[in-house]
Amino acid sequence: MTTTPRIGVILGTTRDSRFGLAPAEWIVARAKARGDWQVDLIDLKDHPLPLFNEMASNAWMPSQDAAAVKWQETLAQYDGFIFVTPEYNRSITGALKNALDQAYNEWNRKAFGIVSYGSVGGTRAAEHLRTIGIELQMASTRSAVHIGGGDFFSVHPLGGDPKPIETLEASIGASADAMLSELDWWTRATMAARAVEGQREAA
């Protein structure tokens, strides 16, 4: 474990026509601007995972699929996460759910924040994601970024003439700052707790 938190921003959609890259790059830049984190964009397109087909979660036995093992090794490098997700049928994407299912130990006792988007700001997807996080023994921030309604259609191609996402600063900037601040607190708290646990196990 390093003393500088390493945060992975997970882009949770893989469609060719996805909008998610814009908010993902925006929150990556905002997170990097803090100056006290290492921040990486983790694009699920770069991790072509099969549908979960293991005998059991890696909480119980090592995964056999090489792509799943590589994904777990990637996640293990990070101290906290920000999930960027649209809302599909009142939930997160299938690709993101599958990516969550492909690991367990690597999510445990780490914090996460959410950037969600859709006609109602992706709020239902965010709530579903929080319940999944609980099962994975993760800590969610209270604050999240929700891009919805007129804001969403002003920056999405479906609106006809999309504006840069930076034009939403007045609407979503404060919630982004709140989410990042809470994520910093929870990430550092869980890092410290995991370090103490590691020392106890080594003793």
Q: Residue 114 forms beta bridges with which residues?
A: 83
CA angle 164, 169, 173 (to 5 degrees): 130
- pLDDT at residue 80, rounded to an integer: 98
Beta carbons of 138 and 166 less than 8 angstroms apart: no
| Mean of pLDDT over the chain | 95
pLDDT band (50, 70, 90) for residue 199: confident
Neighbouring residues of 60: CB distance < 8 A, sequence distance ≥ 6? none
Residue 201 has a pLDDT of 86
Give the per-residue pLDDT at 2. 57
Assign 8 to helix, strand or coil: strand
Helices (H), the chain: 21-33, 66-76, 94-101, 123-135, 149-155, 169-202
Q: How far is CA 10 from the centre of its chain?
A: 4
- Check pLDDT > 90 for residue 59: yes
